[in-house]
Structure 1
Amino acid sequence: MTHHDKPVNGHNPSFLDVLKQLPPAPPAPEHTAGRLAWMRTAWRESWEEGGFLHRRWAEVFEVRHSGWHEVANWIKAAALFTGLSLIVLMLDAAGDIADAALKGLSAVPATSGGDGSGLWGTVDHPVRVFLAGQAAHLAVAPAALYAFWQLTGLLGLVGGFFGNAGARIAWVLFGLGSLAMIWSAAPAGGRAAATGLAALMWALASIFALRGLSLRPIVHNHPPQYEFSPALHLHATLPAPTPAGDGFGDEPDNVHPLQR
């Protein structure tokens, strides 16, 4: 038995069908006890074969054996509403996570790079100094610029590891921009060493960010999709054979019988 919310006797099934199946309401003097009995009767009759709830339950079990176009309309509406609700919840949660990450990165002082000692300090301190100097001419805090620089590198590294083309482009631009900032803000005596060290670090990190990337041209050798079978067809028309002489005077005139 299949039911797909198709018109039955000229109308679509709805929740009002439950009310039509109910017995008459109890009179006023018996309102309390009669109302409970009335509701129990309505519930029992709705679950009997052919009742409103019985049909809806049967439609739920038919979903696994039916295609999308054969599923009842109320099930489609419930599934779409649930899916949209989950998408909205996930987008809201992702927005909260991104906002918390940006605030956490912005809370780090942009000039807390120490004196630039150590390998990481040699690379990180010039970037902080460059961003702090540029922020003095812009309507943005140095911490915000430094946080955005960190977030761009993190997203480029993670997204590039999973093969995202946009993330890999961002990673390349992040590295080139970082080298330019280090070259500009590093001390004159150690500018080349600091920039070279940053380039090596960026190259090592690119092993993960550009994983699987190849500069070789990809050549696809596919066999031809058609078959060529040369064939020569000759059509010759042969004349019909001439019947042999039958002795009734139809021989040519230059043929005469032998006479003694």
Structure 2
Amino acid sequence: MAHNDRHMNGQHHPNSILDQFELPPTKKTKRHLARLRTAWRKSWEEGGFLHQRWEEVGQSRHASWHEIANWIKTAALFGGLSLIVLMLDAAGDIISATLKGLSNVPATSASDGSGLWGTVDHPIRVFLADQATHLAITPAALYAFWQLTGLLGLVGGFFGNAGARIAWVLFGIGSLAMIWSAAPAGGRAAATGLAALMWALASIFALRGLTLRPIVHNHPPQYQFNPALHLHATLPAPTPAGDDLAPDNVHPLQR
């Protein structure tokens, strides 16, 4: 029955709306496709555009940066910049999420002044909470920034970053000052000394490889001094025999 519906009176009836818009390829379309296939084939022949570009890609593996084709340099720089932008965007999201998570932690939680870490951490929390009352910021945000600074200084200093090591030194000095200011008067010296020892132990990793000894470079001199004495003597030319111009008091030696 369906077969009869499609072929009634010798005519073909389309089974969908898409069949109604299918048009046979024209001669002009066929000519364009033939030209594209010909151009594609010629571009991959020896001396063609795509063949030359492929040869430049192969040669770039063994060439220096100055010998690489300009279009490869441009593509590499564009790809590198795009990757850096993506990494910075991802790092910004991670840091933002970290700060937000740390800010949600109450400033007075997890530390009541007891224990080894509480002796150092509690005065810092108290100092930051007291200072936050005079600033347009929450104590938790101040404490989160203090933690993040110490973490970045420790990790960056471990990998030899100069800025991170400076941040680590300032982090330690600031922490000691806060502990001295907010610790109880009776145990102020002990709390500050304990914090200094803990900071010094952590500095083994943050400041690894750093030395205070002067670096002496022994290089050979760039010039050499070779003294030499040059004497210039002018000898008179010999007078030929029978010269009338010779002085009268000069006589030949006779026996």
User: TM exceeds 0.5?
Assistant: yes
Aligned length: 228
SS in 2 for 1:103: helix
Do structure 1's residue 85 and structure 2's residue 43 form an aligned pair?
Answer: no
Per the normalisation by structure 2, the TM-score is 0.73
Distance 1:209 1:133 in 2: 30
User: What 5-or-longer segments of structure 1 have no aligned partner?
Assistant: 1-26
For the 8 Å contact 1:160–1:168, the answer to whether it is kept is: yes
Cα shift at 1:63: 3.4
Which residue in the other structure is 1:140 paired with? Answer: 137
Distance 1:194 1:173 in 2: 19
Do structure 1's residue 111 and structure 2's residue 108 form an aligned pair?
Answer: yes
Which residue in the other structure is 2:222 paired with? Answer: 225
Cα shift at 1:192: 1.4
Cα shift at 1:159: 2.0
Per the normalisation by structure 1, the TM-score is 0.72
Which residue in the other structure is 2:194 paired with? Answer: 197
Cα shift at 1:202: 1.3
Which residue in the other structure is 1:211 paired with? Answer: 208
Which residue in the other structure is 2:175 paired with? Answer: 178
Distance 1:65 1:227 in 2: 41
Distance 1:242 1:41 in 2: 96
Distance 2:109 2:86 in 1: 37
For the 8 Å contact 2:111–2:121, the answer to whether it is kept is: no
Deviation per residue, 1:57-87 (Å, 9 max, x gap): 3443343466656655543443332222212
Cα shift at 1:197: 0.9
Q: Which stretch shifts more, 126-135 or 99-108?
A: 99-108
Deviation per residue, 1:182-207 (Å, 9 max, x gap): 11111122111111111111122122
Deviation per residue, 1:105-133 (Å, 9 max, x gap): 22322111432111111000111111111
Distance 2:88 2:250 in 1: 111
Which residue in the other structure is 2:126 paired with? Answer: 129
Which residue in the other structure is 2:163 paired with? Answer: 166
SS in 1 for 2:227: coil
Distance 1:176 1:73 in 2: 50
For the 8 Å contact 1:157–1:168, the answer to whether it is kept is: yes
Which residue in the other structure is 1:237 paired with? Answer: 234
Cα shift at 1:140: 0.4
Distance 1:50 1:254 in 2: 94
